[in-house]
Amino acid sequence: MRRIGVLTSGGDAPGMNACIRAVVRTALAHDHVVLGIRHGYAGLIAGDAVPLDRTAIRNTIHQGGTILETSRSLEFSTEEGRLRAAAAIERLELDGLVLIGGEGTFHGASLLAAEADTAALVGVPASIDNDVYGTDYCIGFDTAANCAVEAIDRIRDTARSHERLFFIEVMGRTAGFLALESGIAGGAEELVIPEEELSIARISERIREGFTIGKKSAIVVVTEGKTPGISFQIAREVSERLNFESRVVVLGHLQRGGPPTLRDRVLGSLFGVAAVEALLEGRSGCMVGEVGGDLLCTPLEKTWQKKKPLNEHLLWIFQFLSE
């Protein structure tokens, strides 16, 4: 193992740069050459690589986004594209490749490994949705959740002042991790998450019960799902049932940017070191993650084939804390 590549793929997540920095410094400490692959899998196919040394990653740990930039490559989703990527890996003479991304990144990597005799592949989970199986937390989630909580805190001031009902839409696609944890931390009255069936009647009744015991405002945290903006329809239907004025705030990509929190800087650093160590140990086709405080390696296939469940205890906690 002499030449190690690193790339970021899919959606950006705060803490990716901390991970890149850790990969580079760990590899250099073992006298390995490190190449940064720009623009994710699209850059890998094109062979768009730059040498990474200590100067290249200096003063990056506090930056959001990714210094290597990222993409969602349609070409890599085809077998022909993956074979071109494998050829590029051979041309770059890479012995190992660290893949920082989410389940889509790892799905592509597992297909690449199955179709071509290529470099050792080790994944690092980075997703603000926190939906990757094989780790309790992904790089970027903590920063995004803190952004959502800050928004909830600010909006609550207005909700209380005007006696209004607010619907705050967070990201998450098919997973409610952001909504659940920011909802608990922000003291929300209700959640709309993909893991539970949407019931306008139930949401309306719980909010009505809150008003009857003296509440004059309420906040509902909504996971955007596959269609961002779903909060507007939900808000309209609930408002009609309650005959109560409501407002909608869609946080969108605001949650992805900004400096990573302490937790994401540490997690990115931890995972970056662990990924290089996994390569040095001869591992391949796996993702490093943290489960119950322990570092573990999960086969890449499991990271996208298995659905990561919400924490049932946190769901139970939200139910009675929101009453």
Residues labelled as active-site residues: 129
Answer for the pair 106, 123: CB distance below 8 angstroms, yes or no.
Answer: yes
Answer for the pair 237, 202: CB distance below 8 angstroms, yes or no.
Answer: no
Three-state SS for 256-314 is CCCCCCHHHHHHHHHHHHHHHHHHHCCCCCEEEEEECCEEEEEEHHHHHHCCCCCCHHH
Environment class of 201 (CB within 10 Å of its CB; exposed 0-12, middle 13-18, buried 19+): exposed
If we measure between CA atoms, which residue out of 119, 128, 122, 121 comes closest to residue 90?
A: 119
Q: How far apart are CA 109 and CA 304, in angstroms?
A: 11
Pairing of strands 286-291, 218-223: unpaired
What is the DSSP secondary-structure string of 22-49? HHHHHHHHTT-EEEEETTHHHHHHHT-E
User: Phi-psi region for residue 279, left (φ > 0), alpha (ψ -120 to 50) or beta?
Assistant: alpha
Task: State the CB neighbour count (10 A cutoff) for residue 109.
Answer: 29
